[in-house]
Structure 1
Amino acid sequence: MKIVTYIRVSTDKQGRSGLGLEAQRAAIAAYAKATSAVTVSEFQEVESGRKNTRPELQKALKHARVTGSRLVIAKLDRLSRNAAFLLNLQESGVDFVACDMPEANAMTVGIMAVVAQAEAKAISDRTKAAMRAARERGQTFGNPYGAAPLRCAGKGNAASVQAMQERADARAHDLAEVLEDLEACGFTTLQAQANELNKRGIRTARGGRWHASSVSNLRKRLEAA
């Protein structure tokens, strides 16, 4: 099994001194040994828990996706109140495990995110109540004809088609830096790049092997984007 690791400290001082980092690395090393896992890469974040930006987490998630690796998080407990972190983790589609909370999964992380967003939910509830009151006064919302006009126009599946295109674009964006690295390393032909992608354990969007044609399609999508 391949793993990508993510560790975090909350202050620059801790980052420089290594305080807290060694304990996290030790926990990850113990997990890797117990599961016979191979570490593909490590990402370290020095960030305040109050901030929603997680650039290193985004890099870790992207690398886990393109290499088909599991993301191993050293410490989840202190991040369990940060909705942005939890939602990024839940929506990434990446398999993950937290060393300090091994029972956590996409479902439990989702529950944590719901709790963290309690105030947002309260606002939503108040908005819905206001809309109900407006309806009672005779005000209407949305298209009174429902989805019929969309079906007549042949646009009933537009949302699903757009979602598929967005996922494909996101996958291509994940691999853009990989393609740049391949060229920098001297892999200039489509076939050479396909061979190296397969050698690095990076999968296509459907989980298959790369060919010159699939690399060409990827490059065309990036150019169009």
Structure 2
Amino acid sequence: MKKAVAYYRVSTKRQLKDWPGHDPETMEKEVTGLGLEAQQMAVERFAVAQGYDIAAEYTEVESGRKNKRPQLLTALTQCRKERATLIIAKLDRLGRNVAFISNLMESKVEFKAVDNPHASRVMLHMLAAFAEHEAEQIGTRTKEALAAAKRRGIVLGKNGRVLGKKNKIAADQFAEIMRPIIDGLKAEGFITIRSIRDELNSRNVPTYRNNGQKWHIPNVFALLKRIY
């Protein structure tokens, strides 16, 4: 039987709370990234169907520092040592992470993606190019939109709040600036507040305060409420 190493990715430690005894009904799952339980089931079914014996499983708990992938590096090391294939549940989500792509390509380890079993290294190159281009485009569009808002006379205070009576106007203006960005993320499949938050932070999209603050669930919720 062929050897394989499974690699899973979850966005928050809360997705791992009390695993495996935690009630699936209340466990937090990120729809676009697949919850841990769903990833495990998908990989196990794929391994059985394709004749793989899963020798080890590694789970990456991502935070805002997405370039740190210690579990991936450990998984790749074991794959090289045992000449095993790396199996992941969902390529399209991981494929937007440049760090994941570069580590996988440089390792020269064979891999299989359950949601795209025919994915090749050429596809990885394309995904890497797309991820880099999209990040640059979002950053450029956001800067241009903020500059245009300032030209229209929107004055931001020290904490990003509009002075005096212009506060509500500025917040509404910022929501309109963010509307095409949020619409674009939803079109890519990021439909939960948590996944939108993660993508805004990973693509370095500035918040309303525009002082280096990260996106959090409350300010993403407030933004979506203004937009929709």
Report the TM-score, using the length of structure 2 for normalisation.
Answer: 0.50
Identify the residue that residue 63 of structure 2 maps to in structure 1.
48
Q: What pairs up with 1:66-81 in 2 under 5 angstroms?
A: 66-81=81-96
Give the CA deviation at 1:103.
Answer: 2.5
Identify the residue that residue 37 of structure 2 maps to in structure 1.
22
Letter in 1 for 2:57: E
Runs of 4 or more consecutive aligned structure 1 residues displaced over 3 Å after TM superposition: 119-122
For residues 8 and 120 of structure 1, the distance between their equivalents in structure 2, rounded to whole angstroms, comes to 21
Report the 3-state secondary structure (helix = DSSP H, G, I; strand = E; otherwise coil) of the residue aligned with 2:46: helix
1:49 touches 1:82 (CA, 8 Å); kept in 2? no
Of Structure 1 and Structure 2, the greater helix share is in: 1
Aligned partner of 2:108 among 93, 108, 112: 93
Q: What pairs up with 1:87-166 in 2 under 5 angstroms?
A: 87-118=102-133
Encode CA deviations 1:23-50: one digit per residue, 9 max, x unaligned: 1111011111101211111111111376
Q: What pairs up with 1:169-188 in 2 under 5 angstroms?
A: none
Task: Report how many aligned residue pairs link the two structures.
Answer: 122
The unaligned stretches of length 5 or more in structure 1 are 123-225
Report the 3-state secondary structure (helix = DSSP H, G, I; strand = E; otherwise coil) of the residue aligned with 2:103: helix
The unaligned stretches of length 5 or more in structure 2 are 20-26, 28-34, 138-228
Report the 3-state secondary structure (helix = DSSP H, G, I; strand = E; otherwise coil) of the residue aligned with 1:113: helix
Letter in 1 for 2:39: Q
Encode CA deviations 1:85-143: one digit per residue, 9 max, x unaligned: 11111111000011122232211011111122227999xxxxxxxxxxxxxxxxxxxxx
Letter in 1 for 2:111: F
- Tell me the percent identity: 47
1:50 touches 1:82 (CA, 8 Å); kept in 2? no
Report the 3-state secondary structure (helix = DSSP H, G, I; strand = E; otherwise coil) of the residue aligned with 1:109: helix
1:3 touches 1:41 (CA, 8 Å); kept in 2? yes
Higher CA-based Rg: 1
For residues 87 and 40 of structure 1, the distance between their equivalents in structure 2, rounded to whole angstroms, comes to 24
1:3 touches 1:39 (CA, 8 Å); kept in 2? yes
For residues 35 and 49 of structure 1, the distance between their equivalents in structure 2, rounded to whole angstroms, comes to 35
For residues 49 and 10 of structure 1, the distance between their equivalents in structure 2, rounded to whole angstroms, comes to 9
Change (3 A) 1:63 1:17: same
Letter in 1 for 2:11: S
Report the 3-state secondary structure (helix = DSSP H, G, I; strand = E; otherwise coil) of the residue aligned with 1:117: helix
1:10 touches 1:49 (CA, 8 Å); kept in 2? no
Report the TM-score, using the length of structure 1 for normalisation.
Answer: 0.50
Letter in 1 for 2:13: D
Change (3 A) 1:21 1:120: closer
For residues 83 and 22 of structure 1, the distance between their equivalents in structure 2, rounded to whole angstroms, comes to 25
Give the CA deviation at 1:82.
Answer: 1.2
Letter in 2 for 1:71: L
For residues 69 and 56 of structure 2, the distance between their equivalents in structure 1, rounded to whole angstroms, comes to 17
